[in-house]
């Protein structure tokens, strides 16, 4: 595997050399062959198990932990960094694009702050499934190459088998990376980081000076709008949208406490520590906007004059609401197959959402039923009958294909993931996983024979809870 160093020329604060700790008995548990092909990585289980736990290190590149700050639930931590992740280096895909190859759970780092730097098998499997499911849903995300078990227990409540996740990401540049250099006063590094990020993700930006920073912020904002709309289109709740978990590429990262919404309710929260609903399903756009504002703040030192900078940067940040609303409205148009925009469409959408909330209807299954009802006698919940009559008047011959492309028939439901994780924790393997991965790899096709994966949990996930950093 040919690796290259990354981020090392930007600021010495960003990368700190740090060795993973070898593990007792590395065993390749999950391997993403399709993704591996994209990087011409051979499926050599013995080598990969050692390499992807950091038990064998390539001599070419020193592993590093990345430094970053982060607003966690609104509170600023000036020095967070990778407490349980090691960047082994960058690897080029078949198109020559560089991706970070990062291990999560390969031991403590200089940023661990008393944590063990380890990861349990459950969250590792969850990250693998969820990131691959989001990828199949067409949502920007980091990818998962492998999960390797360590042969060691990690000390959680109760102790669990340990595992290391291998994550591939086009970069790990976060809002928190900019906050880190800004608060450390490394203005030269900050400027270089903007250039590096533009080079990786927004190469269309060619202007210089202050205009460059404005365009960069705008591009990041646009990606955040797109990301949150796509999450909300499928009912995804990220659960921990801290600034250290917000990639400027607009890719989803950090799958710890994420979950899928069943019954439609904007206030849905599953994270055990999100008592105020800061990261609820419906608050995700506000938080993305807030995070972009934190990025804007960290760019201020790059401007000659502070007052002018605040004004210019604020006008970009304040554009979030309009951009989001346009994209969000377009999303509902597509989810309902409405041709063009007509006066009463807002009302049509809000009536449906109110009915779904009132009757606790499942988000995915309702939109799937509406979609399929256009081409068969598929049953739509009878409590939507009056609304369906109005809606059908607004559909056309194209509605089915438009709706089918944006309304998943199947999503990675929380209870399915938990069943698979329970199998792994108990038996070290899963009978369900392969079938599940196959089903969620084609989420926008309705297959009658996949019925069991469409079913809801018996308790509607009423008591379901997710956890951070497990």
Binding residues for Mg ion, per CB under 5 A? 245, 254
- For 303-351, what is the HEC assignment? CCCHHHHHHHHHHHHCCHHHHHHHHHHHHHHHHCCCCCCCCCHHHHHHH
Name the active-site residue from 82, 100, 186, 244.
244
Judged by beta carbon distances under 5 to 8 A according to partner kind, the member of Mg ion, ligand AMP, none in contact with residue 118 is: ligand AMP
Judged by beta carbon distances under 5 to 8 A according to partner kind, the member of ligand AMP, Mg ion, none in contact with residue 117 is: ligand AMP
CB 182 within 8 A of CB 124: no
Q: Which is nearer to ligand AMP, 116 or 265 (CB)?
A: 116
Taking CA atoms, 40 is separated from 68, 83, 171, 208, in Å, by: 31, 29, 19, 37
Q: Which is nearer to Mg ion, 127 or 254 (CB)?
A: 254
Question: In the numeric block, which tokens belong to residue 274?
Answer: 């999100």
15 binds ligand AMP (CB under 6 A): no
How many angstroms separate the CA atoms of 402 and 371, rounded?
Answer: 9
How many angstroms separate the CA atoms of 420 and 415, rounded?
Answer: 9
Known catalytic residue at 93: no
132 binds ligand AMP (CB under 6 A): no
Q: Which is nearer to ligand AMP, 182 or 302 (CB)?
A: 182
Judged by beta carbon distances under 5 to 8 A according to partner kind, the member of Mg ion, ligand AMP, none in contact with residue 251 is: none
Q: Got the DSSP string for 252-290?
A: B---TT-EE--B--TT---BTT-TT-TT-GGGHHHHHHH
CB 26 within 8 A of CB 60: no
H or E element in which residue 194 lies? helix 187-201
254 binds ligand AMP (CB under 6 A): yes
Task: Compute the least distance from the CB of residue 383 to Mg ion, in Å.
Answer: 41
Task: Compute the least distance from the CB of residue 174 to ligand AMP, in Å.
Answer: 10
Q: Which is nearer to ligand AMP, 63 or 443 (CB)?
A: 63
Beta strand 143-154 with 15-17: parallel, antiparallel or unpaired? unpaired
How many angstroms separate the CA atoms of 258 and 466, rounded?
Answer: 7
Judged by beta carbon distances under 5 to 8 A according to partner kind, the member of Mg ion, ligand AMP, none in contact with residue 138 is: none
Q: Which is nearer to ligand AMP, 250 or 443 (CB)?
A: 250
Q: Which of 93, 116, 222, 442 binds ligand AMP (CB under 6 A)?
A: 116
Per-residue interface string for the shown chain with ligand AMP, residues 58-87, x marking contact by CB under 6 A: ----------------------xxxxx---
Q: Which of 89, 256, 337, 412 binds ligand AMP (CB under 6 A)?
A: 256
Question: In the numeric block, which tokens belong to residue 376?
Answer: 């068969």
Contacts of 43 (CB under 8 A, 6+ apart): 31, 33, 36
Q: Name the residue with tokens 């926008």.
A: 444
Task: Compute the least distance from the CB of residue 245 to ligand AMP, in Å.
Answer: 5
Judged by beta carbon distances under 5 to 8 A according to partner kind, the member of ligand AMP, Mg ion, none in contact with residue 83 is: ligand AMP
CB 366 within 8 A of CB 408: no
Q: Which of 240, 287, 316, 380 binds ligand AMP (CB under 6 A)?
A: 240
How many angstroms separate the CA atoms of 106 and 65, rounded?
Answer: 11
Task: Compute the least distance from the CB of residue 113 to ligand AMP, in Å.
Answer: 7
- Single out the segment in contact with ligand AMP by CB under 6 A; choices: 160-168, 240-248, 298-306, 339-347: 240-248
Task: Compute the least distance from the CB of residue 164 to ligand AMP, in Å.
Answer: 12
CB 200 within 8 A of CB 170: yes
115 binds ligand AMP (CB under 6 A): yes
Helices (H) and strands (E) in the chain, counts: 16, 11
Task: Compute the least distance from the CB of residue 72 to ligand AMP, in Å.
Answer: 7
Q: Which is nearer to ligand AMP, 111 or 231 (CB)?
A: 111
Question: In the numeric block, which tokens belong to residue 260?
Answer: 């899928």
Q: Which is nearer to ligand AMP, 217 or 468 (CB)?
A: 468
466 binds ligand AMP (CB under 6 A): no
282 CB neighbour count, 10 Å cutoff: 15
Q: Which is nearer to ligand AMP, 402 or 468 (CB)?
A: 468
Residues found near ligand AMP in the complex (CB under 6 A)? 80-84, 111-112, 115-118, 240, 244-245, 254, 256, 468-469
- Which residues carry out catalysis? 244
């Amino acid at each position: 595997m040919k690796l290259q160093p990354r981020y090392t020329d930007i600021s010495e604060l960003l990368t700190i050399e740090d060795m993973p700790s070898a593990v007792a008995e590395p065993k390749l548990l999950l391997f993403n062959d399709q993704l591996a092909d994209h990087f011409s990585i051979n499926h050599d289980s013995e080598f990969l198990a050692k390499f992807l736990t950091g038990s064998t290190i390539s001599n070419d590149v020193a592993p590093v932990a990345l430094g970053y700050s982060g607003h966690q639930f609104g509170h600023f931590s000036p020095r967070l960094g990778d407490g349980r992740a090691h960047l082994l280096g960058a690897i080029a895909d078949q198109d020559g694009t560089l991706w970070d190859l990062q291990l999560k759970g390969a031991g403590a780092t200089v940023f661990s702050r008393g944590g063990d730097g380890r990861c349990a098998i459950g969250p590792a499997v969850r990250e693998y499934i969820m990131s691959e499911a989001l990828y199949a849903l067409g949502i920007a995300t980091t990818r998962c190459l492998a999960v390797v078990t360590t042969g060691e227990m990690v000390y959680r409540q109760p102790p669990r088998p340990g595992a290391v996740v291998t994550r591939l990401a086009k970069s790990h540049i976060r809002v928190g990376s900019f906050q880190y250099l800004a608060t450390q006063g490394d203005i030269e590094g900050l400027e270089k980081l903007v250039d590096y990020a533009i080079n990786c993700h927004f190469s269309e930006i060619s202007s210089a000076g202050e205009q460059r920073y404005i365009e960069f912020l705008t591009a990041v904002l646009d990606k955040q709008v797109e990301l949150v709309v796509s999450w909300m289109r499928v009912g995804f709740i990220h659960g921990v949208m801290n600034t250290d978990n917000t990639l400027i590429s607009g890719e989803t990262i950090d799958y710890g406490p994420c979950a899928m919404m069943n019954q439609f309710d904007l206030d849905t929260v599953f994270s055990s520590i999100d008592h105020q609903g800061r990261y609820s399903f419906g608050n995700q756009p506000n938080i993305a906007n807030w995070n972009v504002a934190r990025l804007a703040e960290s760019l201020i030192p790059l401007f000659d004059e502070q007052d002018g900078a605040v004004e210019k940067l604020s006008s970009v940040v304040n554009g979030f609401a309009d951009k989001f609303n346009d994209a969000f409205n377009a999303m509902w148009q597509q989810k309902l197959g409405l041709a063009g925009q007509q006066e009463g469409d807002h009302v049509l959408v809000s009536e449906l959402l109110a009915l779904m909330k009132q009757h606790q209807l499942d988000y995915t299954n309702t939109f799937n039923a509406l979609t399929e009802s256009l081409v068969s006698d598929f049953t739509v919940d009878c409590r939507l009958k009056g609304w369906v009559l109005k809606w059908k008047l607004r559909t056309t011959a194209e509605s089915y294909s438009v709706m089918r492309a944006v309304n998943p028939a199947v999503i990675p439901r929380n209870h399915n993931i938990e069943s698979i994780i329970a199998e792994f924790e108990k038996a070290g393997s899963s009978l369900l996983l392969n079938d599940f991965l196959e089903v969620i790899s084609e989420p926008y096709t309705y297959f009658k024979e996949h019925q069991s994966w469409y079913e809801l949990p018996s308790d509607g996930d009423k008591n379901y809870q997710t956890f951070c950093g497990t």
